[in-house]
Amino acid sequence: MLRKLAALLIVLVLGAGPALGVLSPDDMLDDPALEARARALSVQLRCLVCQNQSIDDSDATLARDLRLLVRERLVAGDSDSQVLDFLVARYGEFVLMRPVLAPHTVLLWASPLLLLGLGALGLVVWFVRRRRLASVDPLNDQERRELARILDEQAHAGFD
């Protein structure tokens, strides 16, 4: 019974870590509305160290600094878009988890559609060629005789 209780305690302690989030309680804002906005913004921002995690999920020091910076800007009265604009101006568009749709990112946004279109075009070409090869009529008797004569001439020409 004691082992089961100890195992349950370990599971609860280890499982509580992700539930608390990356921020320590001291870093969280007292105002629940501002904290909710900060969390929503943190999910939209990429950790520049981890690169595949948002700053809300990352435990890197830079991610913590960015989370604190987001909270400072919100406390100072910045809107969500002002906070994002500030961070983009400071760190570049790479800090955004979802890149903006702009003339210099059109290829990035269009590439999935372009690749899908190229794949579809390749399938169409493959099916057309396959159908064309399947629809070739077999040789008739006259063509078979002509082919046999040509092959026979070629076979005898090699022995002369």
Report how far apart, in Å, the C-alpha atoms of 21 and of each of 39, 56, 59, 117 are.
10, 8, 9, 41
Clarify whether residues 125 and 90 are in a common domain: no
C-alpha to C-alpha distance for 57 and 18, rounded to whole angstroms:
9
What gap in Å lies between CA 112 and CA 87, rounded to an integer?
27
The CATH number covering residue 88 comes to 1.10.8.640
**Three-state secondary structure of 57-106:** CCCCHHHHHHHHHHHHHHHCCCCHHHHHHHHHHHHCHHHECCCCCCHHHH
User: pLDDT, tens digit, for every residue of 119-148?
Assistant: 999 999 999 988 887 777 788 899 899 999
Long-range CB contact pairs, 106-114, < 8 A, 24+: none
- Predicted confidence at residue 50, as pLDDT, reads 84
- 11/83 Cα distance (integer angstroms): 38
55, 81, 100 - which closes a domain = 100
* pLDDT for position 5: 66
Same domain, 58 and 110: no
Domain that holds residue 23: 2-100
Tell me, yes or no, whether 40 and 13 share the same domain.
yes
Provide the residue type at 27 as one letter. D
Residues 135 and 122 in one domain: yes
Q: Do 82 and 139 fall within a single domain?
A: no
Domain boundary among 59, 80, 100: 100
108 and 85 within one domain: no
Q: pTM for the whole thing?
A: 0.56
Number of domain units in the chain: 2
Domain shared by 93 and 109, yes or no = no
Alpha-carbon distance 148 to 139, whole Å? 12
Report pLDDT digits (tens) over 74-110: 999 999 999 999 999 998 888 998 877 778 878 888 8
86 and 136 part of one domain: no
92, 23: one domain: yes
